[in-house]
A and B are shown apart, each in its own frame.
Chain A
């Protein structure tokens, strides 16, 4: 009961008109910066944090929450409309969202992303308040071997979810792995694939690769179509708003995305993008419209967007209860909290309840403001697509390079942007899927490090990988996901799967 008193008190403070205004300003600024490709929520918060210093603690906490949510939502807007994801966790959104936008359904795509984010944010924030201590215990059970099993599962689900050719999908994934080798090996400090170039020592930045492959590769590909390419995109076909069917197809993915994203976000080495990958794979399995996947299925936007937001709230669980910053965004938030005299850790809920609940209330309010700001703007955002192609793509490249330069003003980084842009273009010509490259770059090093850590702790004993119950279950699921479709296909009963999917629900 006590909890709710604190939450109510926090909400009352956060709902004062002045504080609502701060939330709105925060959300607006966050969205404006977060929209830049290559600038994810972490950098957005870092860049805008000083703006909040000028306010009183309550107001600045609320504006901070607004910037955080705005930065996260900004990324999905550009993913959907322009196929240029701003960070790794909105890559999956671009897959279906951009197809929808091209078919004149950008409005519903943006709306389902916004409402899905809101629903997920709402549920996950409440979950954060109620079950944080329980989730955190589960998270600590996850050691290197459990994470390795989770990565194996992620690889299996991801590889089955992308692309129509096994060869090309695998090739893309392995190009990602190859790029992931570049840099200092985290466990031994040795440099790999760096050829004595200092700029390569930190490896290849995920955002640089994503922006190059998506924004620049895409621009090159569209430009190369010349007059043969598709005419100007029809910005709005049908309603700009979600229709009854869109709602019917969205609400379950929202809930499933939330259920997947929140626990994964709460794991110290989870990362938001893994939740979005798993959510996409789940929706693709469960959908009644499998033919739409790859051509703009609304479930493929609703689920991952919800997962993304839920896992963002999930990262607050270890952050607030243990003081564990598990993502770059969380690390920046930690720096922000310290500004308000809030020292995250196990004692926080006991020693500083007003601030914690004030923060949670601020997050709820900011989440709500995001919806208030963005739903009316959906119509306006969609108009972006009606800008004539020369100016639209000139603008995309302007902002794509702005994001990269802003994150790291180095000529070398721009050179990589260009090189990967060309790579992305060539891969598009030959029908290679792009997303697995980025997935490989993100998950490859995680899998390698966790495996080596697990074996190092066990002093080389391989059996530990299977003896932990959680790891064993995860590996069995992964094996099933890999083998069952193969067996079914081998027996010529592929239609059974479709049957199963159709009779579900």
Chain B
């Protein structure tokens, strides 16, 4: 039975027609994580929509994606069929790890999805609004402990930006890094820390059930269906998006770049991609071409400044 089962998968895989562009996507993370899921979703949708007949996903995990990025930049030069998935976390990791390979060494194609940061407190916290939290922070930065993801990651950067905007010395923030969202969430729920910060998706069900109070989100405008003000509304000019993108190899001709961009645009516009976004709960923040390039440059320089302010980058 098992042989039959396996043989039928094998036969099915072999029967796939060959298309012109066979993409190989590097997911610079372990199987199961956000970048891996993005890469595998692209794989599925591209094959379903006939954009590419055969898409391979290869995992090159390590060091916030910088190992995968370095390998991609050196081994795929001039290869129009090679793609890599990446994101905002990579921007920070390149800076904190002193990575010799940066996003300038690849060809960013488009931003695909993104998630905004959410700031929460336990339901029984005396802090009722984001303003209360900022006041507490101003009074004694050490007494406000923030639970979030790894040091130098998106969550940490966002806290640094908030402190700076509020006029508090960013090196004085009491940021407690946890491994993975789950552990941070547990510490917030157990009132071990004053406030928590992470992608909104991590907190969504807790906020809905009322065990956590959502104080603010880091988007530019209010998010539909989320009952919380933006950080901007409270007078602090902070917008942070934890985005994911796809990039092509370095050294491509303009025609090759255009071809990849067209394929990615087809992907994003397809019904099955929109369906995937919905089931995974990802926000569509598609941005391509020069607009993306500009935004990327802005993100990189802002990140560098704040990491220096926090004291993580010299």
Contact = CB atoms under 8 A, between A and B. Distances in A.
Do A and B form a real pair? Answer: yes
A356 interface: no
B150 interface: yes
Interface in B178-195: 178-183, 185-187, 189-190, 192-193
Contact of A457 (B60, B67, B145): B145
B190 A201 contact: no
Contacts of B99: 198
B60 to A, nearest CB: 8
B37 interface: yes
Given A42-B32, A188-B151, A140 B205 contact: no
A323 B176 CA distance: 21
A198 B66 contact: yes
B269 interface: no
A322 B2 contact: no
Nearest to B178: A453
A43 B31 contact: yes
Interface stretch (B80-88, B113-121, B206-214, B235-243): B206-214
Interface string A167-206: 0000000000000000011111101000000110110000
A424 interface: no
Interface in B268-314: 279-281, 312
Given A198-B97, A323-B205, A335 B192 contact: no
A396 to B, nearest CB: 24
A13 to B, nearest CB: 21
A191 B97 contact: yes
A186 B177 CA distance: 7
Interface residues of B, number: 55
A306 B9 CA distance: 35
B131 interface: no
A324 interface: yes
Interface string A23-46: 001001100000000000011001
Contact of A143 (B152, B182, B187): B187
A341 interface: yes
B121 to A, nearest CB: 15
Contact of B62 (A50, A201, A318, A324): A201
B142 A459 contact: yes
Given A325-B182, A346-B206, A141 B190 contact: yes
Contact of B186 (A51, A140, A198): A140
B63 interface: yes
A410 B58 CA distance: 12
A424 B278 CA distance: 49
A456 B176 contact: yes
Contacts of A459: 142-143, 174
A202 B205 contact: no
Contact of B206 (A142, A323, A339, A407): A323
A202 B63 contact: yes
Interface string A83-121: 000000000000000000000000000000000000000
B301 to A, nearest CB: 19
B190 A140 contact: yes
B63 A408 contact: no
A347 B205 CA distance: 7
Interface in B156-205: 174, 176-183, 185-187, 189-190, 192-193, 202, 204-205
A326 B31 contact: no
A21 interface: yes
A481 B13 CA distance: 58
A253 interface: no
B177 A187 contact: yes
Interface residues of A, number: 58
A47 interface: yes
A344 interface: yes
B152 A408 contact: no
A202 B60 CA distance: 12
B96 interface: yes
A324 B186 contact: yes
Contacts of A449: 179
A51 B31 CA distance: 15
Nearest to A446: B179
Contacts of B5: 25
Interface in B2-19: 2, 5, 9
Contacts of A322: 185-186, 189, 206
A408 B59 contact: yes
Contacts of A42: 32
A467 interface: no
B61 interface: yes
B140 to A, nearest CB: 9
B32 A331 contact: yes
Contact of B174 (A184, A186, A335, A456): A456
Interface string A326-360: 10101110010011010111111000000000000
A151 B37 CA distance: 33
Contact of A341 (B174, B177, B209, B279): B279
B252 interface: no
B182 A332 contact: no
B21 interface: no
Contacts of B185: 268, 322-324
22 contacts: A139-B186, A143-B187, A143-B190, A184-B63, A184-B96, A187-B176, A188-B312, A198-B67, A198-B70, A201-B63, A202-B63, A326-B182, A331-B32, A339-B279, A341-B279, A343-B205, A345-B209, A346-B205, A347-B209, A449-B179, A457-B145, A457-B193
Interface of A: 21, 25, 28-29, 42-43, 46-47, 50-51, 139-144, 184-189, 191, 198-199, 201-202, 268-269, 318, 322-326, 328, 330-332, 335, 338-339, 341, 343-348, 407-410, 449, 453, 456-457, 459
Given A28-B2, A269-B186, A326-B186, 17 more contacts: A47-B31, A186-B150, A189-B96, A198-B70, A198-B99, A201-B66, A322-B186, A322-B189, A324-B183, A325-B180, A326-B183, A343-B205, A345-B204, A346-B206, A347-B205, A408-B62, A459-B174
State the 3 A-B residue pairs at the shortest beta-carbon distance, nearest first. A345-B205, A268-B186, A46-B31
